[in-house]
Structure 1
Amino acid sequence: MSLVPAPPTRSTVVTALRSAGCVFAEDEADLILAAAGDPAALAAMVGRRVAGHPLEHVLGWAEFDGLRITVGPGVFVPRRRTEFLLHQAAALARPGAVVVDLCCGSGALGAALAARTGPVELHAADVEPAAVRCARRNVTGTGRVYEGDLFEPLPGTLRGRVEILLANVPYVPTDDVGLLPPEARVHEPRVALDGGPDGLDVLRRVAAEAPHWLAPGGHLLVETSERQAARAEETLARHGLTTRVAASDELYATVVVATRAGDIP
């Protein structure tokens, strides 16, 4: 007589996750158990997590500023520290503002800003097809999502009208990508992580075009590292934008806010 394996229990799930190095094994087990529809799905989800897949990819969602944001394999997982960029943007935005979310990934920033501010005219773009599919689910009824490189897919009617430009560009220096946790470097798209030799390549491209898309008084917000902040400010200032740096010790987050004061230089 063949024996049918017993379905996983909370205890066995916690043990498996802890053995795989999951620091918060109990919390993760509860989330996986709640998301699994049946024992087979539970076993598959635990297997993926034990194999090193990000918890958010296993669950199919990530929490961001109190929202459940759909994510999937090959999609950048929104980080909690990026909520600081969101808070900076929310302090500057108004209901009905024209908002662009570049390098939008799952669309978390744009969706959360709309939830905080009220209805906005939201446009989001990403170069990764998997990210675009997720973003379209997350901003349904809130905005439009375009597939393409930075500003290229955006409608030309937005030029000179953007009040809030969110650009959570990749800023990890190329040589440091290999130092990232396996969850990121193996399971997230490299294009969402690698910012070039000094981590600022994509920021430079955004800075060069942003003044032509921003409305007078419009704001560009970018996340960077503390050590890159001064160079990021210099890059943005070279294109006629006034800049300031905001930082959060609690979230270990650094954001550069650049503003178009008036006419494009």
Structure 2
Amino acid sequence: MTEVQRALRRASKVIPAADARMLLAHALGVTPARLLTAGPLHGHQIDAFDDLVRARVGGTPAQYLTGRAPFRTVEVAVGPGVFIPRPETEVMTGWAIEVLRGRAGEQTVVELCAGSGAISLAICTELPGHVQYAVELSAAAVEYADVNLAGTGVILLQGDLADALPELDGTVDLVIANPPYVPLESYDGIPAEVREHEPELALFSGLDGLDVMRVLTRTARRLLRPGGWVCAEHAELQHRSAPELFVADGGFDQVRDRCDYNDRPRFVTARRRTTVAGLPL
């Protein structure tokens, strides 16, 4: 057994194995894929790894300790004050990319509740050539998004989604969002490391978790052109209540709920109506 394998086995007794690999790779200055080919560990590397493991045992997210988080084909800078992108959101992002791929010409894309900008970065990396905007309320999160989206051409704006981008009303092809959606009544059920480290603004949204989703529904209706699409992530328990907001709004059709990697309800998609009472918009 190599030194790397011994270090990983020791750490995996107290933290998740995936976190142990991420932290050891960070301590060695290599990618996790290159861990098994890494040479002998030096004393300062072992000390650094042990410090990271202790911090992780104390509840600090591994991504905050490394300052990086993977998302689809990209990696973003993260840290205290910004929400850590989750693998579940990758499926919704992939759905959006396929919608854009199926359309001819340059499309206009708006990400609301952008956080670190991971979704926008993934889209422009995997499918460049579109006009993209990212809107985020938190000043702390915008600092990370600014770093992550630098040089991409994505237009980053700090502001409230409720009145974002009025100059684009009726012209946007795709609105995508991972809004806060945890119900306040579920506060105690959220893991302590999430509650204590990640920003509440990115997590909680009223008693039923849908306060921001209600605003998002109205903003998407305002921004989208007829036939444009919106997709928005939600909690598993909101698989009926989240789509019902888009149905009740009256400005959308083809409302459908969709699942994540684990086949759990995770995001709603809806199309901006092209007609009302048989008349074109």
TM-score, shorter chain, exceeding 0.5: yes
Match of 1:262 in 2: 274
State the match for 1:250 in structure 2.
262
Distance in 2 separating the partners of 1:186 and 1:13: 28
Following TM superposition, by how much is the alpha carbon of 1:203 offset from its aligned partner in structure 2, in angstroms?
A: 0.3
Aligned to 1:184: 194
Contact 1:17/1:49, CA 8 A, preserved across alignment: no
Residues 113 and 177, structure 2, Cα contact 8 Å, conserved in 1: yes
Residue number in structure 1 paired with 2:88: 81
Seen in structure 2, the aligned counterparts of structure 1 residues 13 and 63 have a Cα distance that, compared at 3 Å, is: same
> Does the alignment pair 1:107 with 2:114?
no
State the partner residue of 2:16: 22
Deviation at 1:251, TM superposition (A): 5.6
**SS in structure 2 of the partner of residue 222 of structure 1:** strand
Match of 1:149 among 160, 177, 180: 160
Task: Tell me, yes or no, if structure 1 residue 58 matches structure 2 residue 65.
Answer: yes
1:76–1:25 distance in 2 versus 1, CA, 3 Å: closer
Distance 1:57 1:251, change over 3 A: farther
> Which stretch shows the higher mean deviation, 225-234 or 64-73?
225-234
Q: Kindly tell me: are residues 26 and 132 of structure 1, through their superposed partners in 2, closer, same or farther at Cα, counting changes over 3 Å?
A: closer
Partner in structure 1 of residue 252 of structure 2: 241
User: Unaligned stretches of 5+ in structure 2?
Assistant: 31-43
Tell me how far apart the structure 1 counterparts of residues 109 and 271 of structure 2 sit (CA, whole Å). Answer: 14
CA contact (8 A) 1:81 1:252 kept: no
C-alpha contact 2:92 2:260 (8 A) present in aligned 1: no
SS in 2 for 1:93: helix
Write out per-residue CA displacement over residues 26-57 of structure 1, whole angstroms, 9 at most, x where no aligned residue: 42343232349x65755654443232111111
8 Å Cα contact 1:98-1:162 kept in structure 2: yes
Matched residue, 2:142: 132
Q: CA deviation at 1:208?
A: 2.0
CA change 1:109–1:13 in 2 (3 A) is same
Q: Would the aligned equivalents of 2:70 and 2:76 in 1 still touch at CA under 8 Å? A: yes
Q: CA–CA distance in 1 between the matches of 2:147 and 2:273?
A: 35
Measured in 2, the distance between the counterparts of 1:24 and 1:130 equals 27
Amino acid at match of 1:241: F
TM-score, length-scaled by structure 2: 0.81
Q: In the TM superposition, what is the alpha-carbon distance from 1:177 to its structure 2 partner? A: 2.5
Paired position in structure 2 for 1:70: 77
What is the alpha-carbon distance in structure 1 between the residues aligned to residue 256 and residue 77 of structure 2?
32
Using the size of structure 1 for normalisation, the TM-score is 0.86
Could you tell me which runs of 5 or more consecutive residues in structure 1 were left unpaired when the two chains were aligned.
Answer: 1-8
Give the match's secondary structure for 2:140: helix
Work out the CA distance in 2 between the residues paired with 1:14 and 1:147.
Answer: 41
Equivalences, count: 256
Over the aligned positions, Cα root-mean-square deviation in angstroms equals: 2.6
The answer to whether the 8 A contact 1:102-1:151 is kept is: no
Q: Does the CA contact (< 8 Å) of 1:80 and 1:251 recur in 2?
A: no
Q: How far, CA to CA, are the matches of 1:135 and 1:229 in structure 2?
A: 29
Q: 1:123 corresponds to which residue?
A: 133
